[in-house]
């Protein structure tokens, strides 16, 4: 017989030396130690991401990540069905009370969609910031950003081997909001009258526009509007909106979005996961406060 040598850190039940899981609460005894396997606590993690003892693949940075910038927040999550997160997001404060956000959803049937969406988001956000900060108008900056994002993902492939993703961006300033998009990721306005701000590039369940080496010339849809009261811009991938398709559904699920953006983003992701998490889930919550342009 083996002697009891320790107690479970979660429930204090006695555990035996060499055991990985608590017999009482079932949780991993050693989980949480730095550099340890998240499932069994072993330190023998392979370079390819699998634990050398229990074989469980370690969550990567993208499996679940959260971001906060200025008054806004975003959460991106792998969901319950996909083995990796092919969505990518970026959120940044452009200047005083001006926010920019980008979400790209990698097309699962394309090769390396996770690399593609990340490249597109990074190029899109970098261009948005550069253009807006150098005084370019919201619409032109949005178009320039889409063009750079399209080029960034296109160079990752060839026509026959093309990583592909959707794209949606929001520029939110006190006097004006500009949305640009390609594909079926969406933006919503949650205010006095909740409104969907995008139309899906989608026909019979198939994307009709996307970014990628096989996409040809990309012409984004761009729209601007001037809200007449306070509200929130939601930017998201279909992993969220499939469960909350209408603007009213979205508004009902996010009642405190304006005052607590991060908890709202977390709650929306949880809602999608609880409903099945069929796809990767990404959501940005960007509050809007009416005012005059800071410039």
Partner 1 sequence: MTEQPQFTIRVDQNKYLPVGGREVHAVLTVEASGPVDNAVPETQAAEVIIVDTSGSMSYGKIAEARKAAQAAVDTLRDGVFFAIVAGTAQAHMIYPPERRLLPSNPQTRQAAKEAISRLQADGGTAMGRWLRLAADLFEPFPGAIKHAILLTDGKNEHQSAEEFDADLAYCTGRFVCDCRGVGTAWVVAELRKVGSALLGNVMDIPNPKDLEADFRAMTQAAMGKAVADVALRVWTPQNATLKFVKQVSPALEDLTARRIPSGPQAGDYPTGSWGGESREYHICVEVPPGVVGQEMRAAWVKLVVPDSGFQLAAGNVLALWSDDLVQSTRINPRVAHYTGQQELAGLIQEGLQARKEGDLELATARLGRARGMAQQSGHGETARLLDKVIDFDPESGTARLKPNVEKADEIALDTRSTRTVRMRKDPES
Residues near partner 1 (CB under 8 A) are 20, 39-40, 50-51, 53-57, 78-81, 83, 276-278
Query: With respect to partner 1, which residue has the nearer C-beta, 138 or 273?
Result: 273
Query: With respect to partner 1, which residue has the nearer C-beta, 196 or 278?
Result: 278
d(CA 291, CA 279): 37
d(CA 161, CA 266): 35
Nearest to 102 by CA among 282, 270, 277: 282
Q: Phi then psi for 292, rounded to 5 degrees?
A: -95, 160
d(CA 135, CA 122): 20
Least separation in angstroms between CB 266 and partner 1:
17
Query: With respect to partner 1, which residue has the nearer C-beta, 78 or 143?
Result: 78
Least separation in angstroms between CB 14 and partner 1:
20
Query: With respect to partner 1, which residue has the nearer C-beta, 43 or 155?
Result: 43
Cβ–Cβ < 8 Å for 66, 262: yes
d(CA 256, CA 245): 19
Least separation in angstroms between CB 39 and partner 1:
7
Least separation in angstroms between CB 274 and partner 1:
12
Query: With respect to partner 1, which residue has the nearer C-beta, 78 or 186?
Result: 78
Least separation in angstroms between CB 84 and partner 1:
9
The structure tokens 């499996």 sit at 63
Q: Phi then psi for 271, rounded to 5 degrees?
A: -60, -45
Least separation in angstroms between CB 210 and partner 1:
22
Q: Phi then psi for 236, rounded to 5 degrees?
A: -155, 165
Query: With respect to partner 1, which residue has the nearer C-beta, 80 or 130?
Result: 80
Q: Phi then psi for 227, rounded to 5 degrees?
A: -60, 145
Element (H, E) at 150: helix 138-154
């Amino acid at each position: 017989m083996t002697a009891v040598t320790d107690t479970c850190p979660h429930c204090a039940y006695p555990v035996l030396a060499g055991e990985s899981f608590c017999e009482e609460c079932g949780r991993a005894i050693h989980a949480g130690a730095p550099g340890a396997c998240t499932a069994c606590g072993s330190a023998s993690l392979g370079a390819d991401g699998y634990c050398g003892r229990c074989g469980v693949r370690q969550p990567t940075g993208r499996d679940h990540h959260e971001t906060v910038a200025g008054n806004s927040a975003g959460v991106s999550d792998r969901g319950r069905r996909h083995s990796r997160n092919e969505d990518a997001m970026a959120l940044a404060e452009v200047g005083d009370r001006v926010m920019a956000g980008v979400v790209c959803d990698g097309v699962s049937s394309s090769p390396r969609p996770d690399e593609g969406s990340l490249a597109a988001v990074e190029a899109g956000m970098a261009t948005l910031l550069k253009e807006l900060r150098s005084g370019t108008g919201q619409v032109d900056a949005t178009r320039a950003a889409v063009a750079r994002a399209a080029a960034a993902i296109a160079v990752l492939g060839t026509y026959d081997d093309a990583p592909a993703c959707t794209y949606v961006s929001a520029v939110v300033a006190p006097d004006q909001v500009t949305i640009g998009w390609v594909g079926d990721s969406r933006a919503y306005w949650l205010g006095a009258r909740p409104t969907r701000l995008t139309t899906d590039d989608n026909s019979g369940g198939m994307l009709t526009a996307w970014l990628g080496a096989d996409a040809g010339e990309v012409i984004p849809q761009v729209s601007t509007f001037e809200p007449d009261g306070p509200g929130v811009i939601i930017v998201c991938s279909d992993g969220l909106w499939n469960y909350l398709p209408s603007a009213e559904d979205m508004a009902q699920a996010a009642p405190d979005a304006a005052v607590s953006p991060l908890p709202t983003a977390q709650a929306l992701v949880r809602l999608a996961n609880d409903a099945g998490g069929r796809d990767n889930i990404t959501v940005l919550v960007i509050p809007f406060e009416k005012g005059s342009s800071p410039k």
